[in-house]
Each structure stands twice: as C-alpha cells, then as structure tokens.
Amino acid sequence: MDEVVMENIFLLVLVTLLSVLQNAFFAHKVEKECKAHNGKTPAFERLSCANRNCMDVYPTFLAVMWCAGICLSQAPAAFAGTMYLVARQKYFVGYMGQTCQSTPGFLFGKRILSFLFLMCVVGVVNYLLLTYGGSDYKEYIQTITKAASALLLIP
C-alpha cells in the first residue's frame, strides 16, 4: 500500500484506540463516584447518564468514522474523529457540573457526527457513480472535504 494511505489508516486506528481509552476513563469515573457515595447522589446519576449516553453513541461514531475514512478520505475522517473525542470530553465534563453545561459539547458532537455521516454518503454515492456511471469525482470531493473539515473548529 501507499505510505500516505498507511499513515492515514494509522490515524484512524489511533483515534479508535483513544476513543476506547476515553470510554474506559468515563466508566472508571462512574465506578469511582458510585463507590464513594453508594450511587445515591445526584452527581452519580449525572455521571452515569453521561457515560451511558457516550456508550450508546460509540458504535455509531466508529461506524461513520471508519466508513468516511474508507469510502472517501482518511485524514479528514481522523481529524473529525479527534474533534469528536474533544467534544465528548466537553460533554462529559459539562455533565459533572450542571446539566445545561453539557449542551455545547452535545451539539458540537452532533455536528461532527453529521459531518462524518455526510462524508460516508458522499463516498458511497461517488462509488456508485464510478461503478455504474463511469465518472469519478473523488479528487474534487476530497478537496472539498479537507477544506470543510477545518470548519469543524468553529464553535
């Protein structure tokens, strides 16, 4: 395989491993809070809810990140995955305070998941156009995707 492709696949694997470590950290935090207060405090309930929400979205995140990386472009998918991890951390930390503090992290994560899903759809449509129509727009789409991934930094 091409060296650049291998580096980009390495980035996707690295983001996946970081996500697994982050999930383990969240689960440890919830367990620690549970042992400290026997699970009867509002803080435990909030942490447990945040951890459950993160675990519910985790398979979707992995699926769209890998699909976007394989079908379209690895570097923007890995960048969006890293930004999603930052948004999820903000969401989780916001839940530790008041619940309304988690809203910006939730909305940011939702926007990143939408971007990754759009990358998946465009990649699949491009593949279908190439297979059945004979036209390939992958280079143009990759250029647009790389430029658009920088817009994810805007809050």
The answer to whether the Cα torsion of 43, 49, 55, 61 is positive or negative is negative
Q: What is the pLDDT of residue 95?
A: 73
Percent of the chain past pLDDT 70, that is, above it, reads 74
Query: Of 71, 60, 144, which is closest to residue 109 (Cα–Cα)?
Result: 60
Report residue 70 as tokens. Answer: 């394989």
CA 114 to chain CA centroid, Å, is: 10
Residue 10: what pLDDT?
67
The reported pTM is 0.72
Measured between alpha carbons, how far is 76 from 118 in angstroms, rounded to an integer?
12
What is the rounded average pLDDT of the residues 32-45? 64
Question: In the structure, what pLDDT confidence band is assigned to residue 5 with cuts at 50, 70 and 90?
Answer: low
pLDDT at 25 > cutoff 70: yes
Q: Return d(Cα 35, Cα 12) in angstroms, integer.
A: 35
Domains of the chain, start order:
3-153 (1.20.120.550)
